């Protein structure tokens, strides 16, 4: 359905995330993957969605001057926001353990921003989902880290993995957003393109 609406556009997904790529495939979109290395550093005064907006735009800016007419570049960034701090991807096992220990028995927010860039302009959308965790034992955290190695995931977890089955008590908002893309909002944005 969406594929026909976008017949005059070429969608470029600038993400190495297998989950985001799968979402685009599941939407039955024709898309190309183009990647550029970007140092994901943001000003320390930014909060919550300001961080993900900034990083999604930063990733899009790496393609400045590289887009042809009719191409729509899609970049995205996700963070876990907990107790006034952004939790990105863990540095190592110990960092991942600390992050999951801090989320245990608590509610956190997952923010994702998506930037749509053309040769002429750009738009940014974002979404937030609240996720409540059950209390996790140290053994459960260790088991998850040993089995799933979630070092490429913001907040050191993937909701679609084992930990999502046993730890997630409640989700308020988009489940897909927690996986890294507010698919309903992306679909709505692309559907409304002229």
Catalytic site residue from 61, 77, 92, 123:
77
81, exposed or middle or buried, with CB in 10 Å at 0-12, 13-18, 19+? buried
Measured in whole angstroms, the distance separating CA 122 from the mean position of its chain's CA atoms is 18
In the residue annotation, 77 being an active-site residue is answered as yes
Distance CA 12, CA 33 (A): 6
From 59, 64, 55, select the one nearest 121 (Cα to Cα): 64
Q: Which of 73, 167, 55 is nearest to 116 (CA)?
A: 73
- Beta bridge partners, 108, equal 131
- The span from the CA of 52 to the CA of 188, in Å, is 20
Task: Give the separation between CA 151 and CA 79, rounded to whole angstroms.
Answer: 13
The residues annotated as belonging to the active site are: 77
């Amino acid at each position: 359905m969406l594929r026909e609406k976008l017949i005059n556009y070429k969608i470029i997904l600038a993400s190495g995330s297998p989950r985001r790529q799968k979402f685009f495939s599941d939407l039955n979109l024709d898309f190309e993957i183009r990647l550029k290395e970007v140092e994901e550093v943001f000003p320390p005064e930014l909060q919550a969605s300001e961080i993900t907006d900034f990083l999604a735009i930063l990733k899009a800016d790496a393609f400045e001057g590289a887009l042809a007419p009719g191409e729509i570049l899609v970049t995205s960034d996700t963070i876990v926001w907990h107790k006034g701090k952004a939790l990105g991807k863990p540095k190592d096992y110990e960092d991942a353990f600390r992050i999951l220990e801090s989320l245990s028995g608590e509610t956190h927010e997952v923010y994702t921003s998506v930037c749509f860039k053309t040769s002429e302009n750009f738009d940014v959308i974002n979404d937030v989902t609240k996720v409540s965790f059950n209390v996790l034992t140290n053994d459960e955290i260790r088991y998850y880290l040993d089995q799933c190695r979630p070092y490429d995931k913001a907040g050191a977890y993937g909701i679609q993995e084992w930990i999502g089955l046993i730890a997630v008590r409640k989700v308020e908002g988009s489940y897909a957003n927690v996986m890294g893309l507010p698919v309903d909002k992306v679909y709505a944005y692309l559907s409304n393109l002229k």
